[in-house]
Structure 1
């Protein structure tokens, strides 16, 4: 479900709600084929604690509806599933995914360092503080031909300014202006998939470190 969904998300940047509803309903029906229905329903109900939280995060705009529905469907299909002895919680996949979110920052800063070592003036025309430039270098880079990205620069009184406000994952339009500072519109579903794989084979990264396991 997650791998196929990630491929669709990369290809179309949109996944219909029916996709997640189908998997969620299938997972619910499979529970009634279990030999211990009560225990499985209890485990599912506990895992679904994550549902109101991810719906809130979706409405705020930190990630898309597909990401929220994926986590809810996952709570139904494989509530707190793991092959490891490490602790997990209803939020494990999400917290693991949040840790993986550091990878795009590393990629962005690496691209900007490489561009500067090549002699490119990546902040040409900007009159901004060093702090804002550092934050922009973490959030994105100057793209020659943006695709599936959000602009983090704007014109203000005829001058270039960095716009480092949070972009709503579903309402913001992708940038198509050449040579613009952008932040990549990374499908968060990829990170959720990675977070679930870590959950399966390792457990919860944060809980493991916190509990010393």
Structure 2
């Protein structure tokens, strides 16, 4: 396991701090401007690189360091790039994960499946977004119980309605929301795959929308959880086994 190679030292602690500062700054920029300057990533890489050079760990052999970096970067970078080109998240999110894979290639997590911090951050962040599903289902159930026809005007198959039920809700959009529907040939149709770089929608009429909270915020929280707990999936599995 990679974490067996890891003994936290001053350099590791500083690089972790650099990542936290980087993610917080990026989150603030994304919320305020919906754009993150590449200077954030470059600055973090330069600072982390200088720390690595000045405080080179003596307890690890160079071949061990190489294994750490190669595994972390080679597994994280392609996955982040594929997710970006598929529109699952933005380019800034991919860059954040790649920088994390470089600055924190390993970490002794309390609970871990594969031992790659950057991938753990990604899975943690993805799990956190599931809270939106619970929120959407609750809102839609509440609307139905109040007698509202949330699918009025839609001639869509049941599976699309079920997906929309979990992915979004009906509201007068304002703020960090993406439209979950569009008009085609005069008919209302669901658009269940809004791109990460889609425009926020604001209008007075009620439409189907989905939360557009910047994914970098989930990455930031996922990073902190990785430090404190580790992999949330591994943690959940451990809890399940303990209860049996």
The TM-score normalised by the length of structure 1 is: 0.86
Give the gaps of 5 or more residues in structure 2. Answer: 1-21
- Give the match for residue 69 of structure 2: 44
Structure 1 pair 146–12 and aligned structure 2 pair: CA distance change class (3 A):
same
Q: Report the Cα offset of residue 137 of structure 1.
A: 1.3
Match for residue 103 of structure 1 among 107, 110, 131: 131
| TM-score normalised by length of structure 2 | 0.76
Residue number in structure 2 paired with 1:5: 26
The alignment covers a number of residue pairs equal to 210
Instruction: Give the distance between the partners of 1:140 and 1:82, measured in 2 at CA.
Output: 37
Paired residues of 1:154 and 1:162 also in contact (CA < 8 A): yes
Which residue of structure 1 aligns with residue 18 of structure 2? none
* Matched position secondary structure for 1:32: helix
Distance in structure 2 (CA, Å) of the matches to 1:158 and 1:83: 53
Considering fraction of residues, name the structure with more helix: 2
Could you list the runs of 5+ residues in structure 1 that have no partner in the other structure?
A: none
Residue pair 2:111, 2:234 contacting (<8 A) in 1 also: no
* CA-CA distance at 1:96 after TM superposition: 1.6
Alignment root-mean-square deviation, CA: 2.4
1:56 corresponds to: 82
Residue 19 of structure 2: aligned partner: none
| Whole-angstrom CA distance in 2 between matches of 1:161 and 1:18 | 40
Query: Once the two structures are superposed, what CA deviation does each residue of 1:17-39 show, in whole Å capped at 9, x if it has no partner?
Result: 11111111211111001242735
Per-residue deviation, 1:200: 0.9
Q: Structure 2 CA distance, aligned partners of 1:59 and 1:86?
A: 28
Which structure has more RCO (C-alpha within 8 Å, separation ≥ 6)?
A: 1
Contact 1:28 1:76 in 2 (8 A): no
> Given the alignment of the two structures, is residue 203 of structure 1 paired with residue 224 of structure 2, yes or no?
no
**Alignment match, 2:9:** none
